[in-house]
Amino acid sequence: MGALAAKVGAIPPRPGQRRATQEDDVLSHSDPSTGLPVGPRPDMSAAEPLVDVSERMLDRVLASLDDDKAEDIVQIDLRGRSDMADYMVICSGRSSRQVASIAEKLMDRVKQEFGRISKVEGKETGDWVLIDTGDVIVHVFRPEVREFYQLEKMWLPADQQR
């Protein structure tokens, strides 16, 4: 008698819950609140390493910004310095309309290619838009607003500042 069979026989199911079988243990995962199987287990062998995903996300973000004519693009490596993301990208648009457009197109591309819905702040005014893709945080500024806040001074090492 296997370990699963011993567990199944030893613990009676809760009211309304069916008994677990060996197939459940192999083919599905359980809902933590009910303990019932909810579907096939994810194939972890096909899962991409997190570094690869964040690198791909950074490449896609930079390509999107370049496609939309963002100016003065700066990328900052946050790995080992912050838990909020792996990279930060700061760029400028020439007008409020361009800043909002850059942000909107970036969010659409991230959703299409990675299936992620990005969080966004400030798109309504178009002075400073923050897009959080999870792995990469993007700041899109109008030039005057960027100069006022000077985020690069906070995050870039002194020898890399513009």
- Show me where the domains of the chain are located: 3-44, 50-155
Q: Are 92 and 74 a contacting pair, CB within 8 Å?
A: no
Per-chain mean pLDDT for the chain: 80
Q: Which tens digit of pLDDT belongs to each residue from 109-156? A: 999 999 989 999 999 998 999 999 988 999 999 999 999 999 988 887
Share of the chain above pLDDT 90, in %: 49
Pick the CATH number of 50-155 from 3.30.460.80, 3.30.460.10, 3.30.70.1560, 3.40.50.300: 3.30.460.10
Sorted by sequence, the CB contacts under 8 Å of residue 48 that are 6+ apart come out as none
To the nearest 10 degrees (0 to 180), the angle between helices 50-67 and 96-114 is 140
